[in-house]
Structure 1
Amino acid sequence: MLIREVCSFLFRIYISFYIVHWPNGGSLVVSGEKINYNLVHSWADKLGMELFHLGDFITRRKEVQESFKQAQVVTRSGAKIVENMANEIKIMMDSKISAVRRIMDTAENTALTYQMEKPDQLFSYYNSKEMIEPGEPIPTKPPRDLEDAGAEKIFVTPKTIVLTPKEEFFNTPVNMSVSSVHVPTNVYDRALDTIKAIEWSENLDQIFRDNYKNDPTLSWQFFGSSTGFMRQFPASKWKMEPVDLYDCRLRPWYMEAATSPKDVIILLDSSGSMMGQRLDIAKHVVNTILDTLGTNDFVNIFTFSDKVKPVVGCFEDTLVQANLGNIRELKEGIETVKTVSIANFTAALTKAFEVLEQFRTEQHGAQCNQAIMIVSDGAPFSYEEIFELYNWQNLPYKPVRVFTYLIGKEVADVKDIKWMACANQGYYVHLADTAEVREMVLNYIPVMARPLVLGRHDHPVIWTQVYADVEDTEMSDYLWQNEQNNDQKENILEYRKVSFRMLDPDEVRRREYRRMRKAWDQPTDTDIYKFMTTISMPVYDRRENANVTELVLINEALWEMQTRETRVANLLGVAGTDVPIRDIKRLLSPFLLGVNGYAFVVTNNGYILFHPDFRPIFQGYILKPAYNSVDMIEVELLDDDRPPRDFNPVLLTIRDSIINQSTGSKWMLVKNHFDEMKRVARVKRQYYWTAIKNTPFTLVITYPELYGVNRLQIRTEDEIHRISIKGSNTLSFFTGKRWKIHPKWLFCKHSNMTFQSPEEELLWFLGKMSQPGWKWPSSRSALPPEHTAAMFSNTSAGRIPPFDNYYCDRQLMQSLVFDARVTEWFSKNTSFNSKDDKGNEFKQRFGINVAFLATHSGLTRWQEFHSNMAEEQGAGDKFSETNNKAIDEVWYKRAVDQHFVREESFVYSVPFDAGETSPDPIVTASHAIFHSEGGKSAPAAVVGFQFQYSALHKLFRNITGNACAVDDKSCYVLDNNGFIIVSLNRHETGRFFGEINGAIMHRLVEENVYKRVIVYDYQAICFVPDGDMNCSPNILSKLLAPASENSTLNILI
């Protein structure tokens, strides 16, 4: 059925026919026509040799290999690398903790000394939503609403502020002199308690400025008040579009600092009296409670009428971790609750206490606080006997707090349901409408915080998992609905224009490809969202006693206002600072890990803080419903034959060691997908891990065992100094514009200066290094002031030296300068004169655009060629815009992998959409340069070139002649993953061959030309078939869900 021949240089040529059979000899008979096997062999040889000689000449690969002979090959020490990286991160984190601790201490002292009894309700402050910039119109007092019968609202003219964009704050316009205040939409900023806290907290501006002076790498600093506002430094305007849902008290950094980890069971009354508005309010209450929980909490919801049932069927008799995925399941379960029968409180309370007791005795769950939340329209009795049995066995210790939420405007009796809360160290709330739900529900937080507040001195340091700055996950539903509406609109408009082509196979394929490209998951280095972790600490009211005025029921008939002195245990709020994920990545020195090596961080819950395969976004801009609950075992995919979710015990053992912050190492066979999950490598990888001290995080590094155990190193420790002594200037190796450095790597960074490009910043530092007095900074991050004070307390002057406002990675810079010196010649265009017949022939025949070189230190050089077939000027600029990441480029990774298949080979690729988007796409070829020494070798660089597809197509046709030009024959050149490099039908170029002819591809797998590799994508968003959808307002829950089972990808290698 098939004649096949493997080309010497990665190409595989396959000739398929409509009527074919395997011959017994060396030829194939097709419809009476014999095609000789040797002919196909000669095609492969000729095409391969033509392309190899082209690449060999254009890239000057042998000269490049000679250039790196001055370097040495050394063994990579994974244990030492991970230890040094973890220590660098620790130093940075210690500095951030120190800054937060100073904010906390200043806030507590300021609140303690603030004596004003009645605050100034006309106090003017920088409101993030209202402050204006110079030139903007000044708002005037709005007219009073005639229907507003309440007191006249206070109006204060917004303050004017000057804002300037700063790169370290994601280019947000900021003012570095003052802080600004964000007030949630549902909070009145002129309420006495709120404006009082806003007024005294303005004194935090000085400590904000001092912190930033001590550590210019600090990101946002803030104080979130228990009254609802958040003071943020530096001052900036708040983004209001499409809607402001932000409330700092519902953010993970606030919730986890304000309360200890907890087990929570919510009992939702689903009896017949809870119908209509009462059920709506109750659902809102439960949803708000769920919003206050984090990944260190465990939760479940039971509805109770005559029977007690979990809202999610598979959550019976248990508690689940309160991650985004489980919270979403619980919220969807709440929407299905129906009211019926009468409420059986006895069964509900018994179920809740028994589940909590089981988790407490077996030491599961949070192993800290426990609480029962009762949401009901009233209780007929106090059920004291149940509390005596389960909660009062060891008085005064009560293991479970009880919080009660009474629902409804008209309730018969509040006494019993209020008593349940007060008798069990809880809190009682009466809710009459949905507008007051959020504020009233949040009252449980200060109660849960009381044990810590009463301790006064214990301020736990909280670290959040990764999250998208100010975004609310509820927006995913809104954005998805908008996306569906826009797609429907586009489809209708397109149908009106080209209805006659809508069902054309090529048009259907183009629409499907556009949809798939749009749906491809985005990595965390996208600029759409700002991903970060946050360090926070609780801020306590340090007053011992205070006067409290409250309503007291006299003789069960009359309410009277009374003032009494009581012990204070108030939570003032939470102090914190953000740590952008990009700042942590900059400390990792990825060049030490080499090509296809990477590092990632795992939290105490086993979730990744960041990872190269972390894909939190789909459809280009929508956060996935459970984007920050990706377990490390869902991204490190072992190469075994286990079904989905049946994880290998070896991997689980490594996960336990990482979570417990042990130090260790292990090798594993894994599957690494890349290039939009269209390619996969089966690799034996070495893993090393160690704890990042003073944090709940563990750092893991990994690299391929095949070519990652060795790395290149320069022979002199100070290449830059050696060059200067010889009278040379390092800047001379970076002349012209035909070079780039890896934009994501930290070569050198100045805290107080901005540059137009990484290359401009590098040149500035190279100039400084050549001047007298240059010194290499000792650390990438500023040391906390208390550490530096201790270090320099014994010096004669006793003064603390100022923090260097810059940092350079010394080892990386030395390696970069070495690479630049030995490859300086490459960027100089090869001049083809009349005697260079071979060069001119290649130019004319292949339309070569660019020849390039990328080194292991992140340097990329290129040279441009302009011929009749490649008339585009600035071909090098186009190349460098999208191919400047050196070892992180796909063509670099594939070339290094291919080196161990056939050392002399080039790897070729075309864009996957080449046949649909471009009449003459670009072909990219690359080849790995290895340097060997003493029986060891390491990848030093990759060379390559780009040329016009039309030239390759023409060469293929010339070689195959008329044999492939008849109707009953098709000829293809495929790459090592089954994607079409060349087809006589140009629309098929770049596509997977299995889409063109699945039967033949299946046969290729059977014949071991390719191997099928199954990859389970646990981060995928699964689309429910149309038949299972309904018109629900919460359409995202019907269409999308995390891949709780799996999303299977079949990739060929």
Structure 2
Amino acid sequence: MISYSLGSFVCYDLWRTLLIAECLTGHLWANSDRRFYVEAASAESVTKWASELSGNLKDVFESATKYKEIVKSYSSLADAEVFDAHSELKSIKRQVEIYLRERAKMAWDAKVSLESKEIRDNLSEVELNDPLSKDFVRYLNAKRQSDAAVVFLDGHFGGTIEVNATREVHYRKNVNFYGIPTSSEASAVHVPTPVYNRNPYVLERIEWSDIDQVYRRNRERMKDLSFQKFCSESGFMRYFPAAPWIWDNKETELDLFDCRSTEWFIDAATMSKNVLILLDLSGSMLGQRFEIARQTIESILDTLSDNDFFNVMAFSKNTNFLDECAEEILLQATMRNKKLIWSRLANITSEGKAEYEKALSKAFTTLMNLPGLTFWRTKEELARDREQEALDPDLHYIALEDNILVLPQVYVQAIKNSLETANRWVAMIPWFFKEVFDLYNKEKRIRFFSFLVGEEATDFEQVRWMACNNRGFMVHVNNLADVQEKVQHYVKVMSRPISRQSASIHQENAIWSGTARERMSNEFVISVSYPVVLDGTFMGVSAVSIPLLELSQIAHPSMIGSKSYFFMLDNNGYAMFHPQLRPMDPVTGEIKPTYNNMEFGEVDIQMAYSKSKASLSCNSNEHKEINTLFAVEELRRVYRQKNRYYAECIEGTHFTIALAVAENDQVRLKRAQQLELSRIEMAWFQDHNWRLHPKWYSFRETSKGDNQEFNCPHNHNGIFFGFLVASKKMSGFL
């Protein structure tokens, strides 16, 4: 027998447990005198070791977690009850609908107010920019944080003068905006970098859009209302309350933001559309011209949302889509697809002669979803066939400038039958091909936009004819600095149908955007918006931000079991909030590029052998069951879980609220007794030994509104009382 002597140790029970675990493999056992012996294993001894190991592990667990004491402490405060998943989801759905409807009304009220105002558009540039003129326009500049301005003298030919500020912004940290500094004194105006902020066209609209009294009244009626905003078609954005502008690079004051590229503006300003971009890759597209064309395409793609479809066709002698896997198919304008096309643009070269006729024919064939049965002949081949009387009477021969387009009867009939009302357009970068347009677009159902690139570009008249004769627009992009602003011309043209239909737009026709990270607060939000049309002219978009955090707190996990969860999807199936959605990179701290493009099946990870496809429909009464993998503690622990899914459509939106109930998890905790405010001892909060979460919904909803202080814990006594009162009203949140 071999004995081992063991010295003193900190935790005898823990060491004893570890040594017993070792005996399972090394035949080591210990007696009460702390001496350890090796003996041969037997069935009886292994059973004994396992029993002792189990008991010691249980003792360690109970000692470390004290879960029995926790259960005993809370047994008088809460009881377990079985909940009905479908009823709970319907209740949450109604609360979310009310919440969204109230905020849609705020955006609608701002739209109505703007459309009832007259715009002063008869003032000269001198009157608007002369500090001594009564018509001089001042506004609170978001970047300068005051209404100071720099104006040019003598029509830009003289020097500049600095106009002193008459109003400085006084910011205070606002609990209703998660602690960021705000000011309700006035709304702030952001003008994008490429737009001259003293342009008379812009100044007239800035002055017209000043409806601070409406914004302020909305905030008084709804204390937890987030940012109210208006994006003008001229580029500026007015938002209330004012808040310090967040730069792309604070040190260099780099600002790349343009509200006209946001989804909430694009979706409200235009209808869903199919876009096909033709890129000339002939030998003349070299150097700076090609770089301008590439940047123009990227800017066009930035104006497309997930509700649009697109593709890019590069052509010279041959015509090919940049996405080879989607030949003759339009791609959904998701961030992933756009990044794919951007990467392909960086790897193409220009060469040869451009075959515009073939490119236009293929573009129209794709947009009109025509059968791809066309083929091409040269004029010499056609003359030879005519001499040999070999022309097929069932084929149509279209003589173009360089080629003969041969069409079968079924193709011609398909062109005549192409009566879909989809919003479609072709962008060409960049001739004059009247025969092609007469064949495919005689009824002008497809818009054509021309982007002529480079300072030495020619053929203005031909390019202008193609655009203007096909309900489009032609712009000349001289250099890279022109790109962003020139691309916005097509958005203005695409907004014309909205202007014509403005009388049919009602409050229930709200436009709901997908998830985005708001520039003013860095919070993840959705937006509800309406187009603003004045005297038949599209002026911009009125909107209200809705933090996703607040929606997730309405659907709070305390209402269901510990392993069950609520989540929300948009019309594209992307997760808006979900316990497995992690939009921030834990290593870099940066936002993930696809944070708002995560489909339901990518956040609810199915197990490999799961038979059901991860898809949900709020229009179905079927409750799908799916085996999933659920991760907790930043992916440190993953466990299997079988969920049953319930889904409801949110009325007035294209969103879906859903509930995943884990197997055997139909039990929740309910409060056993009402909360008695008289039992609260305010002396508890006299020191610094406590803290409240600043983003808690009930904590934010106080009667003091924006004047509420947001300081260190000892200044929060009054706020905490407001929090407790709110929690009594919304007991399900505790």
Instruction: State the TM bucket, normalised to the shorter chain.
Output: 0.7 to 0.9
1:235 maps to a residue whose letter is A
**What is aligned with 2:275?**
264
1:419 paired residue among 465, 476, 487: 465
- Relative to structure 1, the CA distance from residue 140 to residue 454 in structure 2 (aligned partners, 3 Å threshold; closer, same or farther) is closer
**What is aligned with 1:346?**
357
**What is aligned with 1:605?**
572
- Relative to structure 1, the CA distance from residue 570 to residue 807 in structure 2 (aligned partners, 3 Å threshold; closer, same or farther) is farther
CA distance in 2, matches of 1:760, 1:740: 11
Q: Which secondary structure state, in structure 1, belongs to the residue aligned with residue 340 of structure 2? A: helix
Q: Which secondary structure state, in structure 2, belongs to the residue aligned with residue 240 of structure 1? A: coil
2:41 maps to a residue whose letter is N
In the TM superposition, what is the alpha-carbon distance from 1:755 to its structure 2 partner? Answer: 6.1
Equivalent pair of 1:184/1:229 in contact (CA under 8 Å): yes
**What is aligned with 1:581?**
548
In the TM superposition, what is the alpha-carbon distance from 1:76 to its structure 2 partner? Answer: 1.0
Q: Which secondary structure state, in structure 1, belongs to the residue aligned with residue 646 of structure 2? A: strand
CA distance in 2, matches of 1:149, 1:735: 65
- Relative to structure 1, the CA distance from residue 195 to residue 57 in structure 2 (aligned partners, 3 Å threshold; closer, same or farther) is closer
1:108 maps to a residue whose letter is E
**What is aligned with 2:589?**
621
2:645 paired residue among 670, 675, 687: 687
Aligned-residue identity in percent: 28
CA distance in 2, matches of 1:62, 1:409: 79
2:629 paired residue among 671, 675, 688: 671
What whole-Å deviation, never above 9, does each CA across 1:19-56 have from its counterpart, x for those lacking one? x9x9xxxxxxxxxx976367776665545434533554
- Relative to structure 1, the CA distance from residue 766 to residue 47 in structure 2 (aligned partners, 3 Å threshold; closer, same or farther) is farther
Q: Which secondary structure state, in structure 1, belongs to the residue aligned with residue 448 of structure 2? A: strand
In the TM superposition, what is the alpha-carbon distance from 1:429 to its structure 2 partner? Answer: 1.0
In the TM superposition, what is the alpha-carbon distance from 1:267 to its structure 2 partner? Answer: 0.2
What whole-Å deviation, never above 9, does each CA across 1:583-602 have from its counterpart, x for those lacking one? 21221132012312211110
Equivalent pair of 1:126/1:181 in contact (CA under 8 Å): yes
- Relative to structure 1, the CA distance from residue 292 to residue 142 in structure 2 (aligned partners, 3 Å threshold; closer, same or farther) is closer
Give yes or no for the alignment of 1:125 onto 2:169.
no
**What is aligned with 2:602?**
634
Q: Which secondary structure state, in structure 1, belongs to the residue aligned with residue 369 of structure 2? A: helix
What whole-Å deviation, never above 9, does each CA across 1:1000-1051 have from its counterpart, x for those lacking one? xxxxxxxxxxxxxxxxxxxxxxxxxxxxxxxxxxxxxxxxxxxxxxxxxxxx
**What is aligned with 1:214?**
221
In the TM superposition, what is the alpha-carbon distance from 1:714 to its structure 2 partner? Answer: 4.3
1:399 paired residue among 428, 435, 445: 445
Give yes or no for the alignment of 1:227 onto 2:234.
yes
- Relative to structure 1, the CA distance from residue 113 to residue 140 in structure 2 (aligned partners, 3 Å threshold; closer, same or farther) is closer
Query: How many residues align structurally?
Result: 642
2:701 paired residue among 729, 740, 750: 750
CA distance in 2, matches of 1:468, 1:11: 53
- Relative to structure 1, the CA distance from residue 467 to residue 215 in structure 2 (aligned partners, 3 Å threshold; closer, same or farther) is same
In the TM superposition, what is the alpha-carbon distance from 1:367 to its structure 2 partner? Answer: 7.0
Q: Which secondary structure state, in structure 2, belongs to the residue aligned with residue 430 of structure 1? A: strand
Any unmatched runs of 5+ in structure 2? Answer: 1-14, 28-37, 132-136, 372-413
Give yes or no for the alignment of 1:470 onto 2:519.
yes
Equivalent pair of 2:151/2:163 in contact (CA under 8 Å): no
- Relative to structure 1, the CA distance from residue 113 to residue 195 in structure 2 (aligned partners, 3 Å threshold; closer, same or farther) is closer
- Relative to structure 1, the CA distance from residue 106 to residue 766 in structure 2 (aligned partners, 3 Å threshold; closer, same or farther) is closer
- Relative to structure 1, the CA distance from residue 368 to residue 71 in structure 2 (aligned partners, 3 Å threshold; closer, same or farther) is same
Give yes or no for the alignment of 1:370 onto 2:424.
yes
1:103 paired residue among 110, 117, 133: 110
**What is aligned with 1:449?**
495
In the TM superposition, what is the alpha-carbon distance from 1:449 to its structure 2 partner? Answer: 0.9
What whole-Å deviation, never above 9, does each CA across 1:745-804 have from its counterpart, x for those lacking one? 5455533245668999799666998xxxxxx8xxxxxxxxxxxxxxxxxxxxxxxxxxxx
In the TM superposition, what is the alpha-carbon distance from 1:635 to its structure 2 partner? Answer: 1.2
Normalising to structure 2: TM-score of the pair?
A: 0.79
In the TM superposition, what is the alpha-carbon distance from 1:418 to its structure 2 partner? Answer: 1.2
CA distance in 2, matches of 1:680, 1:693: 35
1:535 paired residue among 528, 543, 555: 528
2:434 maps to a residue whose letter is E
Equivalent pair of 1:298/1:320 in contact (CA under 8 Å): yes
Q: Which secondary structure state, in structure 1, belongs to the residue aligned with residue 293 of structure 2? A: helix
Equivalent pair of 2:624/2:644 in contact (CA under 8 Å): yes
Equivalent pair of 1:324/1:626 in contact (CA under 8 Å): yes
What whole-Å deviation, never above 9, does each CA across 1:165-207 have from its counterpart, x for those lacking one? 21222322221020111111111111110111112222x1111
Equivalent pair of 1:603/1:697 in contact (CA under 8 Å): yes
Equivalent pair of 1:586/1:744 in contact (CA under 8 Å): no
Equivalent pair of 1:748/1:762 in contact (CA under 8 Å): no
Q: Which secondary structure state, in structure 2, belongs to the residue aligned with residue 687 of structure 1? A: strand
Equivalent pair of 2:313/2:320 in contact (CA under 8 Å): yes
In the TM superposition, what is the alpha-carbon distance from 1:208 to its structure 2 partner? Answer: 0.8
In the TM superposition, what is the alpha-carbon distance from 1:350 to its structure 2 partner? Answer: 1.0
- Relative to structure 1, the CA distance from residue 577 to residue 69 in structure 2 (aligned partners, 3 Å threshold; closer, same or farther) is closer
In the TM superposition, what is the alpha-carbon distance from 1:734 to its structure 2 partner? Answer: 10
What whole-Å deviation, never above 9, does each CA across 1:331-366 have from its counterpart, x for those lacking one? 1111112111111111111111111111999999x9
Superposed CA RMSD in Å reads 3.8
Equivalent pair of 2:85/2:646 in contact (CA under 8 Å): yes
**What is aligned with 1:244?**
255
CA distance in 1, matches of 2:64, 2:718: 29
Q: Which secondary structure state, in structure 1, belongs to the residue aligned with residue 554 of structure 2? A: coil
CA distance in 2, matches of 1:369, 1:764: 52
1:192 paired residue among 191, 200, 220: 200
Normalising to structure 1: TM-score of the pair?
A: 0.56
- Relative to structure 1, the CA distance from residue 600 to residue 349 in structure 2 (aligned partners, 3 Å threshold; closer, same or farther) is same
CA distance in 2, matches of 1:638, 1:8: 41
Equivalent pair of 1:748/1:761 in contact (CA under 8 Å): no
1:421 maps to a residue whose letter is A
1:36 paired residue among 31, 36, 41: 41
1:168 paired residue among 150, 172, 176: 176
1:402 maps to a residue whose letter is F
- Relative to structure 1, the CA distance from residue 85 to residue 14 in structure 2 (aligned partners, 3 Å threshold; closer, same or farther) is farther
**What is aligned with 2:6?**
none
CA distance in 1, matches of 2:698, 2:80: 22
CA distance in 2, matches of 1:712, 1:274: 68
What whole-Å deviation, never above 9, does each CA across 1:385-429 have from its counterpart, x for those lacking one? 22222222xx3xx32100011122223322222111111111111
CA distance in 2, matches of 1:574, 1:710: 46
- Relative to structure 1, the CA distance from residue 809 to residue 754 in structure 2 (aligned partners, 3 Å threshold; closer, same or farther) is farther
CA distance in 2, matches of 1:84, 1:739: 33
Give yes or no for the alignment of 1:596 onto 2:563.
yes
1:630 maps to a residue whose letter is M
1:388 paired residue among 438, 451, 468: 438
**What is aligned with 2:732?**
812
Q: Which secondary structure state, in structure 2, belongs to the residue aligned with residue 358 of structure 1? A: coil
CA distance in 2, matches of 1:467, 1:140: 31
In the TM superposition, what is the alpha-carbon distance from 1:286 to its structure 2 partner? Answer: 0.8
Equivalent pair of 2:120/2:208 in contact (CA under 8 Å): no
- Relative to structure 1, the CA distance from residue 57 to residue 429 in structure 2 (aligned partners, 3 Å threshold; closer, same or farther) is closer
Any unmatched runs of 5+ in structure 1? Answer: 1-6, 23-32, 134-138, 472-526, 543-568, 643-647, 770-775, 777-805, 814-856, 858-1053
1:225 maps to a residue whose letter is S
Bigger drift between 588-597 and 338-347 goes to 588-597
CA distance in 1, matches of 2:525, 2:346: 32
Give yes or no for the alignment of 1:49 onto 2:55.
yes
Alignment of 1:783-802 (within 5 A): none
In the TM superposition, what is the alpha-carbon distance from 1:316 to its structure 2 partner? Answer: 1.6
CA distance in 2, matches of 1:178, 1:11: 71
In the TM superposition, what is the alpha-carbon distance from 1:681 to its structure 2 partner? Answer: 1.3
What whole-Å deviation, never above 9, does each CA across 1:100-155 have from its counterpart, x for those lacking one? 1111111122245776576512422211112359xxxxx997999xxx98454464
Q: Which secondary structure state, in structure 2, belongs to the residue aligned with residue 622 of structure 1? A: coil
1:289 maps to a residue whose letter is I
What whole-Å deviation, never above 9, does each CA across 1:607-659 have from its counterpart, x for those lacking one? 111111112222332222222111001111222337xxxxx5x335x43x14x
CA distance in 1, matches of 2:697, 2:713: 9
CA distance in 2, matches of 1:177, 1:404: 45
